[in-house]
Amino acid sequence: MKVYRAYAKVNVFLKITGKREGYHEIVSRFVRVNSLYDELSFVPKEESGDRVSDFKIYGDFSCETNQNTIYKAYFALKRATLSESLENLMRTHGVHVKKSIPAFAGLGGGSSDAATYLKMCNEVLHLGLSLNELAQIGLEVGADVAFFIYDYNSANVSGIGEIVEAFDEEILDFEIFTPDIQISTPKVYQIYRDDFYAPIDGFMANELKKRPSKEILSTMSADEANDLFKPALQEYKNLKDYYQYGWHFSGSGSSFFRLKEASHG
């Protein structure tokens, strides 16, 4: 069976622009990390004792199957397409995932796995869904899924994650360090809202969207580039033990990253 790669991402910047129906609106630069990815494939179900109705994921996950983004993506796709061939496929096959992207790390592993699963089903079953249609289905799973559907190397992401605009720049390679700290994204956003809420205006958002990632990383500090860094530091006190000058913070954490070439300078 064909193996599909689900790439990680980093947020070169992540700024809050406002609130909408309980969600925070953002403007962010998502950049794909080509050197870090999970590998997904369809495999025939292993145990003869599997109930045919069981959705099977084979892999090392820190959550129950019904909490897994791939499982959620399956049900979102089923609702959208009412595809019998999809049900038949998942009756006889499981999804094998070789995990390399750490969880709770701000690297988009769960969202990338969900997006990759949707694209695998679309290809294997000839569902004929466009990328826009897949992205719409992915939004039911999580705000970041849309970015991974489009397969851009670099993109400006706004709204609550549903607006993805390709950004043309050189392909960058990153060094990533992920401390063993399980960060809760909802908790970090809540602290941001309670203690740090200071959305940027449209003018500043547009300025950031035009600037190359390399320039942002060389001119903005971790807390200037990412509005969630200070709230994460406040809630997870030991995070500061891992922070080093010149590194940036991805998403709501816990990963730090920098350009590969910067480590040789």
Residues designated catalytic: 9, 144
DSSP helix/strand/coil, 172:
coil
Give how far Cα 9 sits from Cα of 53, 174, 212, 256, 257, Å. 33, 10, 16, 12, 11
Helices 131-139, 69-81: crossing angle, 10 deg rounding: 120
Nearest to 246 by CA among 259, 234, 235, 237: 259
- The span from the CA of 43 to the CA of 64, in Å, is 20
Q: Which amino acid is at 172?
A: L
- The span from the CA of 97 to the CA of 107, in Å, is 16
Are 175 and 265 in contact by the 8 Å Cβ rule? The answer is no
- The span from the CA of 193 to the CA of 205, in Å, is 19
Q: Is the dihedral of CA 256, 259, 261, 265 positive or negative?
A: negative
Give how far Cα 156 sits from Cα of 25, 110, 212, 226, Å. 13, 20, 11, 14
DSSP helix/strand/coil, 146:
helix
Residue 14 DSSP symbol: E
